Amino acid sequence: MRIAVIEDEKPIREGLVRVLHKINPDYHVVDSAENGMDGLKLLERERPDLIFLDIRMPDMDGLSMLKEAREQGIEVKVVILTAYSDFKYAKEAISLGIENYLLKPVDLQELRKTMEKIESELMVEARGRQALSLEQLLTETLEGRLTLDAGLEAALSQNYGITMTDHMYCLYILLGKHYETDKGGVEEFFREFSSHRQETELCMTARDSRKAFFICFYHISDSKKFIRYIKRSVIPALSARIRNHGVFTWKVCGSFSGLAGAEEELVDAGGWNLILGDGVLIECDKISAVRVCPSAYPTELENRARHAVMRLDSQEFIRCFQQFMESCLLEVHRPQDIREVCLRFAYAVINTAKECGTLKDEELMVQNVMRTILESVRWDDIMDVLLELFSMIRPEQKEQSSSELLVQRALSLIRESYSQGINLEETARRLRVSEEYLGKLLKKETGQSFTEIIRKLRIDRAKRLLLDTDLKLNQIAALTGFSDPKYMSKVFRAEVGMLPNEYRRMNT
What mean pLDDT value characterizes the chain?
84
DSSP 218: E
Round to whole Å and give the CA distance between 448 and 455: 10
| DSSP string covering 266-313 | HHHHGGGHHHH-TT-EEEHHHHTT---------HHHHHHHHHHHHHT-
**What is the number of domains present in the chain?**
4
For position 147, what pLDDT does the model report?
65
Q: What is the CATH number of the domain that holds 506?
A: 1.10.10.60
Q: Would you give the end-to-end CA distance of the chain in angstroms?
A: 36
Residues 59 and 95 reside in one and the same domain: yes
Q: Is residue 333 part of a domain?
A: yes
> Which of 232, 262, 287 is the last residue before a domain boundary?
287
| DSSP string covering 228-263 | HHIIIIIHHHHHHHTTT--EEEEEEESSGGGGGGHH
Spell 40-62 as b/e; 16+ CB within 10 A means b: bebbeeeebbbbbbbbbbeebbb
| DSSP string covering 443-496 | HHHHSS-HHHHHHHHHHHHHHHHHHH----HHHHHHHHT-S-HHHHHHHHHHHH
Average pLDDT, stretch 355-383? 77
Handedness of CA 374, 378, 379, 382 (dihedral sign): negative
Please give the sequence-ordered ranges of beta strands (E in DSSP) within 304-384, or none if there are none.
358-359
Round to whole Å and give the CA distance between 229 and 235: 9
pLDDT > 70: percent of the chain:
90
Q: Is residue 279 part of a domain?
A: yes
For position 282, what pLDDT does the model report?
95
Residues 282 and 303 reside in one and the same domain: no
Average pLDDT, stretch 370-396? 82
Q: Is residue 412 part of a domain?
A: no
> Which of 260, 287, 314 is the last residue before a domain boundary?
287
Round to whole Å and give the CA distance between 225 and 229: 6
Q: Is 398 exposed, middle or buried (0-12, 13-18, 19+ CB in 10 A)?
A: exposed
Residues 187 and 278 reside in one and the same domain: yes
Instruction: Report, in angstroms and rounded to the nearest whole number, the Rg of the chain calculated over CA atoms.
Output: 27
> Which of 75, 96, 126 is the last residue before a domain boundary?
126
Q: How far is CA 268 from CA 265, 290, 331, 383, in A?
A: 5, 15, 20, 20
Q: Higher-confidence residue: 146 or 200?
A: 200
Round to whole Å and give the CA distance between 430 and 451: 17
Q: Is residue 321 part of a domain?
A: yes
pLDDT in tens, 29-40: 888 888 888 888
Q: Higher-confidence residue: 202 or 315?
A: 202
Residues 166 and 254 reside in one and the same domain: yes
Of 200, 198, 332, 176, which is closest to residue 248 (Cα–Cα)?
A: 176
Q: Higher-confidence residue: 150 or 6?
A: 6
What is the domain extent for residue 503?
448-508
pLDDT in tens, 58-110: 778 788 888 888 788 787 888 888 775 555 665 566 655 666 778 778 888 88
Average pLDDT, stretch 259-285? 91
